[in-house]
Amino acid sequence: MIEMDKAIATAVKTGKVSFGANAALQNAKTGKAKMIVLAANCPKDIKEQVEYYGKISKVPVITYKGASMDLAMVCNKLFIISALSIRETGDSEILKVIEKP
């Protein structure tokens, strides 16, 4: 799972990423995100809505193995992150990490 941490960190540094559940929900509805990452402790109702709209607009939604504090540490932010939307991957190969079985 180290690859996932590295891929998220690279996407945050070099790509375009939005933080927050509201942004994730909006990006899932519009299909503007290439991928949405949810923390393991993301509230159930938000998680279900993001996954539902992600499925409709064909945006992959993955659940990060750690809690929102862990996700914040990977992103090098001082606030907790329950959801993040990756609009541009930058130098990150995060989409390849997902494709692996």
Per-residue pLDDT, averaged over 48-69, amounts to: 94
Four-residue CA torsion sign, 22, 47, 77, 10: negative
CATH of the domain at 50: 3.30.1330.30
pLDDT averaged over every residue in the chain? 90
pLDDT, tens digit (0-9, with 9 covering 90-100), for 11-41: 999 999 999 999 999 999 999 999 999 999 9
pLDDT score at 100: 55
Q: Residue 1 pLDDT more than 70?
A: no
Q: Domain range for residue 32?
A: 2-99
The pTM of the full predicted model, rounded to 2 decimals, is: 0.90
* Domains identified in the chain, total number: 1
> Considering only CA atoms, which of 30, 31, 35, 22 is closest in space to residue 88?
35
pLDDT score at 99: 65
Question: For residues 95 and 77, what is the distance between their CA atoms, to the nearest angstrom?
Answer: 22
